[in-house]
A and B are shown apart, each in its own frame.
Chain A
Amino acid sequence: MRITVDHGLCDGLGQCTLVAPEVFALNDDERLEVAPDPAPELTQKVTAAARACPVRAITVEGA
């Protein structure tokens, strides 16, 4: 599973962090950080997190 975040689009709204907190977190500057190599069993959560983003800033490949 490969997760890409378009930081030009990401607005730090944190919707993905509510759906998949194991993988996504906002740092103090509201910049999104992604955990490296999430476990395969998190695939469904990561896909749902990408879908929850209002600006679709997250792309998930190989899920």
Chain B
Amino acid sequence: MTEVLDLAGLAATADLEQELDRLARNHGIIRTRQLNQQETWTVLGAALTRRLLSDPRLSNDVHTHAPHGALVPGMSVMLLEQDDPDHSRYRRLVAAAFASRAVRELEPRIVAITRRLLDDLGDSGTADFIGAFTYPMPLEVICDLLGVPDEEREPFRKWAMDISAAPSAEAMQTAAAELFAYCIQLIGAKRRQPTEDLLSELIAARFEDGTALTDEKLSSFAAVLLIAGHDTVTNLLANALYDLLTHPAQLAALRWDPSLAGSAVEEALRFRSSAMTTVNRVALEDIEAGGVTIRKGDLVRFLLNAANRDEELRADPHTFDIGRATVQHVAFGMGPHFCLGQRLARQEATIALTEILDRFPTLELAVPQDEVRWLASDAIRGLEELPLRYAR
């Protein structure tokens, strides 16, 4: 297939997933254009996705092998753009903070953030739930994790916004540089006076050889949290709400039995994966896959939305059904780069969904379903706004 698909353009419709399924029936792998006009191989099928995500011939270290495929030019993002043995070395160092117990201990803080944001909505009204809730909620969790003091959160929120929705590559780089400088200063403060947060924990953490993370790497980790843990959770939650509200029987089932919240989150992850495409990989040698030859030096990424609608994962993949949710999806990727924050993301989404439905017995789309607008993004699957009418 030589045709190059405009993925961001296609994503601006509700039918992206069906269209990808149609393509995936004939092609395991296609060419797509990225927002920066780069062309990449893009993997669609579930089996091929699973196999290639663990294939050591595909490198995440694009800064060394294909700098034009980097997330932020000139700044290698920790973990996301590292290969083994460095990747596993760094991942071991931060793993404890994202392990089951550590994430369970965050529950009261996530509940408190959730309730505070819901309080701000009052007893009834109409609001864009993305702006009012699903965007700020994971950002406040990240600020808590990093230990950003309350009075310094306003600029932090602005950088986060600029990084995720920058009008240009230059604006994005400027915001990233400002955030980076702020983090260096924050790290200095925590070195002098450690507090109870992930950043202080990481400052104290030591590799097996006794060395510590440099300020530069620690700052890069703050960028990782924002790049991988903000928009993804925002849109996971908004997509979950949208798909529940447009499938009333599913919503009724969840309201009847709130213990299904975890299953609803899994189904939302599979059905409309917010982390639509992975970061770029680069082929270290020629690879035959899905009927094409990926040449050494070519960029490759994975379209997880397509893989998650593969019949191999679940029969009848285009049906949203929380009663048949499976964890066998690839919304968090697979293999060495399997999402570090997946437990946190699952917990945030489950808590938020539970609290929102508990708070508002009335919750409905405030515009006709065909009037919601989908993001023209090739990285994140989600809505521009989610206008909801709500009442206690």
Contacts and interface: CB of A to CB of B under 8 A. Distances in A.
Q: Do A and B bind each other?
A: yes
Interface of A: 9, 11-13, 15, 18-19, 30, 48, 51-56
Nearest to B85: A56
21 contacts: A11-B99, A15-B54, A15-B334, A15-B336, A15-B338, A18-B334, A51-B336, A52-B54, A52-B334, A52-B335, A52-B336, A54-B88, A54-B95, A54-B335, A54-B336, A54-B338, A54-B340, A55-B88, A55-B91, A56-B84, A56-B88
Interface string B31-54: 000000000000000000010001
B281 interface: no
Contacts of B87: 54
B15 to A, nearest CB: 30
Interface of B: 50, 54, 56, 84-85, 87-88, 91-92, 95, 99-100, 328, 334-338, 340
A13 B335 CA distance: 10
A18 B50 CA distance: 9
Contacts of B50: 18
Given A54-B91, A55-B88, A55-B91, A15 B99 contact: no
A42 B334 CA distance: 20
Given A15-B335, A52-B334, A56-B85, 13 more contacts: A9-B92, A11-B95, A12-B100, A18-B50, A18-B328, A30-B100, A51-B54, A51-B336, A52-B335, A54-B88, A55-B88, A55-B92, A56-B92
Contacts of B92: 9, 55-56
B72 to A, nearest CB: 22
A31 to B, nearest CB: 11
Nearest to B92: A55
Nearest to A15: B338
Contacts of A15: 54, 334-336, 338
A54 B337 contact: yes
Most buried by B among A9, A11, A51: A11
Instruction: Identify the 7 closest CB pairs spanning chains A and B, nearest first.
Output: A56-B88, A52-B335, A52-B54, A55-B92, A54-B336, A15-B338, A11-B95
Nearest to B100: A30
Contacts of A51: 54, 56, 335-336
A43 B336 CA distance: 19
A45 B54 CA distance: 12
A19 B335 CA distance: 9
Contacts of B84: 56
Nearest to A30: B100
A63 to B, nearest CB: 15
A55 B95 CA distance: 8
Contacts of B100: 12, 30
A37 to B, nearest CB: 24
Nearest to B96: A11
A9 B93 CA distance: 10
B54 A19 contact: yes
A48 B51 CA distance: 10
A53 to B, nearest CB: 7
A18 B312 CA distance: 14
